[in-house]
Amino acid sequence: MIISILCLLITYGILFYRKKKGKPLPRNVGRILLVVECMGLIASAFHYVQTEVTEVHQVKRPKAGEKDEKETYRVSGAGNQVILDTKLEDQAYSQKEMTGIFKKAEKEIDDTICGENKDLSHVERDLVLKESYQEGKVTAIYRSSNPDLILSSGKVTNAALTSKEEVTLTAKLSIGDVTESYDIPVIIYPANAKTKEGLEKLSQNAWKEINEKEGDKGKVTLPSSLGGEKVSWHLEKENTGLQLSILGLLAAIAIAAAGFYEKRRQEMERREGLKRDYPGLLNMLFLYVQSGIGPKSAMQRLAKDYIYRKNLGQVGTRPGYELMIRCVREMESGVGEGLAYENMGRYAGEQHFRKLSLLLVQNLKKGNGDLLIQLEREAKEAEETEKNQIRGDGEKISTKLLLPMMMLLGVVLVVLIFPAIHGMQANAF
């Protein structure tokens, strides 16, 4: 318990120290850590109470048929202590209870023994012989009057049988040291080739006879009929061609799916890059326009500066600036300025650049005065959007950390809380 208190204090101290230094853990992570430590402290307190404070005077014996209770006790006396591993056996059944359990076990045998057979007066398929009944209270051992027809496992070997035959199964039922016998008459019929199980038995028996009776022959003739039914034999081999065809189809599907998801991932990355580049690009465009430079010339200067810095290796590929370069090159190749702006918004597929495209197209009709006001307003909105994006990214990271913390919390619940509560309930008796 003292160790749990120290762990809680140290954990709290670490969280407080990181917060004081300006590097706090995400709020949810810190809370979960403290919850885990508090639950560990509570579990330790339960353990201390039930092992050090609470003295056991009585122990409740399990009822008949219940699982034996295993406990470990610490026996103290005369200045000494010993650890004792114990198991308290369940109560014994009364004679009346045993009789009732045996009757129920016999009924359960009658209900389950037939398996896929209609009834015990016409058995062709394997029987279901279980080792225990009544939820394990009664154990069963079977003995057959004709082991050549019915094995102790319930398997019916009637492939060589030519006419029906009666067999008696004897079930030796036991509850502890008390036993009781239960006889079950069964009529076995020859295997039926019209059923899958019967055909399998007849085929296996025919092959066994071939191995035993025709072992000296270079070639053997396979039977054309089994159990009065016409049969045919075909060599069964793995279809390598089919496997290759399926493998090729799966590979094609996997490649197509991978290509689709890769294209989708690249598109998402491009749009995320456009969102990141938009605030800075818009601010630079606003400054140029504010200083009296037209939108077309401003975009040309921004594109030229970006290409220069990219060639020097100062910046990597920026989707927003690449889009601007595409627009500038269209205008230089003879495409009208308004159409180039429209193409920029259409190609971007992102709402911020579509809005910028619309503002630039409208500017061609209304003039720079209105454009400055709109660019300034859009720049402020873009700055606020960027802050929200950064905040959202931080929350995503915090959310991803929740899963391992919740798993840790689950381990604490299973390993500490449940055994502690179970121990308190056991000691209450």
What integer best gives the mean pLDDT of the chain?
A: 80
Nearest to 407 by CA among 419, 415, 396: 415
Angle at 337 between CA 295 and CA 348, to 5 degrees: 80
Indicate whether 341 pLDDT > 80.
Answer: yes
**Mean of the pLDDT values across residues 191-206?**
80
Give the whole-angstrom CA distance, residue 94 versus residue 97: 5
Higher-confidence residue of 27 and 93: namely 93
Instruction: Write the pLDDT tens digit of every residue in 139-186.
Output: 999 999 988 888 888 888 888 888 889 999 999 999 888 899 999 999
Query: Which contacts (CB < 8 Å, 24+ apart) does range 7-12 have?
Result: 7/37, 7/40, 7/41, 8/34, 8/37, 8/38, 8/40, 8/41, 11/37, 12/37
User: Cα-flanking dihedrals φ and ψ of residue 132, to 5°?
Assistant: -150, 155
Q: Are 220 and 186 in contact (CB under 8 A)?
A: no
Give the whole-angstrom CA distance, residue 255 versus residue 334: 41
Eight-state DSSP code of residue 150: B
The structure tokens listed for 119 are 């009834």
**Mean of the pLDDT values across residues 314-333?**
87
The helix (run of H) or strand (run of E) holding residue 3 is helix 2-20
Share of the chain above pLDDT 70, in %: 87
Give the whole-angstrom CA distance, residue 180 versus residue 174: 6
- How is the chain split into domains, by residue range? 95-211, 268-366
Indicate whether 429 pLDDT > 50.
Answer: no
Instruction: Write the pLDDT tens digit of every residue in 355-394.
Output: 888 888 888 877 655 777 777 788 788 777 777 777 776 7
Higher-confidence residue of 408 and 320: namely 320
Higher-confidence residue of 291 and 46: namely 291
pLDDT of residue 218: 67
| CA distances from residue 274 to 279, 331, 341, 355, 386 in whole angstroms, order as listed | 9, 21, 16, 13, 12
pLDDT of residue 61: 64
Kindly report the number of other CB atoms within 10 A of residue 210's CB atom: 15
The structure tokens listed for 110 are 């009658």
pTM for this prediction: 0.43
DSSP lists the bridge partners of residue 182 as 171
The structure tokens listed for 357 are 């495209």
Nearest to 319 by CA among 355, 349, 339: 349
Least confident interval from 42-56, 169-183, 283-297:
42-56
**Mean of the pLDDT values across residues 77-97?**
75
Ranked by mean pLDDT, which of 35-39, 387-391, 422-426 comes out on top?
Answer: 35-39
User: Cα-flanking dihedrals φ and ψ of residue 70, to 5°?
Assistant: -110, 125
Eight-state DSSP code of residue 413: I
Radius of gyration of the chain (CA): 41
Angle at 47 between CA 41 and CA 50, to 5 degrees: 140
Confidence grade of residue 88 (pLDDT, cut at 50, 70, 90): low
Instruction: Write the pLDDT tens digit of every residue in 204-249.
Output: 787 877 777 766 666 777 788 887 778 888 777 777 777 777 877 7
CA dihedral 350, 353, 358, 361 (to 10 degrees): -130
